[in-house]
Chain A
Amino acid sequence: MRHNNANRLAWLYGALILLGSALVALLQSSAS
């Protein structure tokens, strides 16, 4: 794997983490 791929993968993981966190926060804040 090349350095560019490492870079892209880091961005992808960052985006997934953000998405996952937002989803969980949404679920949790709308739960009652």
Chain B
Amino acid sequence: MKTQRRTGVLWLALYLIFALAPLSLMLFGERPMGREFEREISVALGFTGIGLMTLHFAMTARIRALKEPFGSDVVYAFHRRMGYITLALWLAHPIILFLRFEWALGLLNVLEAPWRARWGVFSVVALLALVVWAVLRRRLRTEYTLWRVSHGVLALAAMAMVMTHAYMVGRYVGTPLKQGLWIAYGAISLLLVGYLRVWKPWQMLRRPYRVVEVRPEQGNVYTLAVEPVGHAGLRFEPGQFAWITARHSPYASQEHPFSFASSAEQQGRIEFSIKELGDFTATVKDLPPGEPVYVDGPYGALSPDRHTDADAIVLIAGGVGIAPMMSILHTWADRGDPRPVTLLYGSPEWEGVAYRDELERLQGAINLQVVHVLERPPADWEGERGYITREILERHLPGRDTRFRVYLCGPLPMLTFVSRALREAGVPDDRVELERFDLV
């Protein structure tokens, strides 16, 4: 835990250094003199904007060491926020010039402007399209894979064009050392894309899996069981997830994130929990036994294995956020862990409660108390109803003298709501681990 915090701080410091390093181009060596402040700040913002762009490739390359200290969902949340800031910098660069210099507006005329300006305009348009599309993806109902591939292609294109722009404008890139820094930023971006799209798929091809069975559960959830072919499988912690490719080559960028639902103690047969939501998830149930599947993982930080100081654990799941909890419970059973587990499980209706029979069985096998919370309970329901509120938490959380940890997984609105309720119920933030289920 301590090492992870230290690694986290190191990554955050490196991030800032990489973001600000391009500014050094303006301070040392050969540099144009006596130019207006507006022009210089415009250049400075443009340069840091390019620095940030490279860092986006690093955040999305699925480098495990980078995601471990924070959790993938938090890294993606940060990627989104920094995406807005990157776009703001890329837009501020020309807008400051337009406001200060009348001639600058003429550069927008891409039919007549010099090529060095055209590349700049094209790169900003590409980044703007990329961000707007990412924000509106759900509303536009863009198919997931199409969006993801376009997202990457637009990012690479924007990066290539903006570097061409900076190089052709030629300020602050006169010496080999300064050119070297730019080349390094470009090369790092390319290497990161290569790592994600060439190296990783190659690794996945070398360690294939095959479908054993696809089992329907309640609530349009399917359990996909796979086994390793010609290798020992992978080690994961209960509560983690992996990226899965089925029906396509790992090179086809068709992978989707799913939680492990089986015990972390059983590597010979790994189960994933998949809710039928759209495009890929709807076709999972038709996967025949024997079909090859590729697995990239594990990822995610929602794991009780990371905190050994708890005398009891509380799992809070909303909807298909139950998947990582199933893995935690099965692992508990396999290890014979005697520590008490409380599961608070929020669902819309009783009919759609995934794994409810299995939970019933697990209650007999481990020290588990399951509390179903239904939004629309049947008429004869005597259990908890509505959302998981402070009152419900206070009724079921372990007593004050128990050192417990809370693991929370579900869609974002539920996480926000329950986090607040936990705080109101007196559970300190540092005892709560949470993971957003809809990652991307």
Contacts and interface: CB of A to CB of B under 8 A. Distances in A.
B5 to A, nearest CB: 10
Interface string A1-20: 11101110111011011101
A6 to B, nearest CB: 4
B429 A17 contact: no
Interface of B: 8, 12, 15-16, 19-20, 23, 26-27, 31, 33-37, 39-41, 43-45, 47-48, 52, 69-71, 73-75, 77-78, 81-82, 84-85, 88-89, 412, 415, 419, 429, 434, 436
Contacts of A14: 85, 88
A26 B89 CA distance: 18
29 contacts: A1-B69, A1-B71, A1-B74, A3-B415, A6-B81, A7-B77, A10-B78, A11-B81, A13-B85, A17-B19, A17-B45, A17-B52, A18-B45, A20-B44, A21-B45, A21-B47, A21-B48, A24-B27, A24-B40, A25-B26, A25-B37, A25-B40, A25-B41, A25-B43, A28-B26, A28-B27, A29-B36, A31-B34, A32-B34
B429 A20 contact: no
B37 A29 contact: yes
A24 B77 contact: no
A16 B15 CA distance: 12
B78 A21 contact: no
Contact of A2 (B52, B74, B89): B74
Which of B40, B47, B75, B419: most chain A CB closer than 10 A?
B40
A4 B320 CA distance: 23
Contacts of A6: 70, 74-75, 77-78, 81
Given A6-B74, A10-B78, A28 B85 contact: no
B400 to A, nearest CB: 23
Contacts of B81: 6-7, 10-11
Contacts of B75: 6
B40 A17 contact: no
A1 B435 CA distance: 10
B302 to A, nearest CB: 12
Contacts of B26: 24-25, 28
